[in-house]
Amino acid sequence: MNDRTIKLLIIGESGVGKSSLIRRFVEDKFDDNHDVTIGMDFKSKVINIDGLEYKLALWDTAGAERFRSLTPSFYRKALGAVLVYDITNRESLTKLEAWLAELENYSDNPNIATIVVGNKVDKERVISREEDCDIRLL
């Protein structure tokens, strides 16, 4: 990767909507019937930061356990990570700590920036707004 590429990982359980978030951001499209990601997917978008163009490389991985062998190389050289959970699925929220631990274990960047995103806000909540605000991962 060159110095104007920002590698950003999108991480979370299978079915939380990681691929849909990426597609909406990159292509401004949404597909209700998106296929499950097998292995890994990659999309990019050129963004402007302070007058300079950067390539934002969005790495999407299958949240399924059977694809975990791909993960060590997936985390290398990432500058940031988006941890995604589904607000209609409590288990996806409780498993975020394990995803964060995996990120910390495999990332070669001790200062990797992380953010948590509650997805599927158009659906009926199982996780309350108060719980969203009370997320304590660190």
pLDDT value for 77 = 92
pLDDT digit string, tens, across residues 79-108? 999 999 999 998 888 888 888 888 999 999
Closest to 92 (Cα-Cα) out of 125, 68, 122: 125
The domain limits of the chain are 5-133
Q: Which CATH number fits domain 5-133: 3.20.20.300, 3.40.50.2300, 3.40.50.620, 3.40.50.300?
A: 3.40.50.300
CA distance 60 to 125: 24
- pTM for this entry: 0.82
Name the 3-class secondary structure at 132.
Answer: helix
Q: What is the mean pLDDT of residues 55-70?
A: 71
Amino acid, res. 41: D
Tell me the H-state helices in the chain. 18-27, 71-75, 90-94, 96-106, 129-133
DSSP assignment, residue 79? S
CA distance 47 to 26: 10
Question: Residue 14: how many CB atoms within 10 A of its CB?
Answer: 15
